[in-house]
A and B are shown apart, each in its own frame.
Chain A
Amino acid sequence: DARVTQTPRHKVTEMGQEVTMRCQPILGHNTVFWYRQTMMQGLELLAYFRNRAPLDDSGMPKDRFSAEMPDATLATLKIQPSEPRDSAVYFCASGLGDRVFSGGQPQHFGDGTRLSIL
């Protein structure tokens, strides 16, 4: 079965360090989402792309977070500088869709990156 691949699976680093999380969407999927799982909020959307173009990053703290898709097979989420409150599990998901019909398509999730900032 095709899967969304996320690396690394776990990351522990000190406050102030740069963190880069990577995601390889399912081949052929044109929409990529970044989510953060927190105890209080559940799954919250940080940003998403369609056909590599960023469509919405309103859920992301702009001063320290950035999301990019250098090509169709790679999405990255960077935090610089990292802070202890960024500790969470970050999920990438991919799906198929166009402007009209995307909400009716299921999203396929990776296994997540568990991030701990000390």
Chain B
Amino acid sequence: ILNVEQSPQSLHVQEGDSTNFTCSFPSSNFYALHWYRWETAKSPEALFVMTLNGDEKKKGRISATLNTKEGYSYLYIKGSQPEDSATYLCAFAILGFGNEKLTFGTGTRLTIIP
């Protein structure tokens, strides 16, 4: 059974502060690591897909890094804004047939305090 763990489960951050959270996944048979942003009452929205060890991706104030050898990814948000409040999901895909099957973590729920 593949286990994807995210920490912390929830986080409150003051507006303007920067923050980061972690996704841990099995390092064997790695194929891809996805990050999704999920606002309340909406659908998950893809942020990043990373496949190479050492990958860094950036979208505005949000960035992510990937370490496939030790099995973790960090998501960073710089200068948090109220619109960043959401649940951030990571998901892991294994190498081989069926690599489109994603195993999701339970998410980090981020609340930005104005």
Contact = CB atoms under 8 A, between A and B. Distances in A.
A43 B104 contact: yes
B46 A106 contact: yes
Contact of A109 (B44, B97, B98, B103): B44
A102 B99 contact: yes
A110 interface: yes
Interface residues of B, number: 26
Contacts of B98: 55-56
Interface of B: 31-32, 34, 36, 42-46, 49, 51, 89, 91, 93-94, 97-107
B43 A42 contact: no
A71 B34 CA distance: 28
Contacts of B42: 111
Contact of B100 (A42, A44, A91, A95): A95
A31 B98 CA distance: 12
A67 B103 CA distance: 20
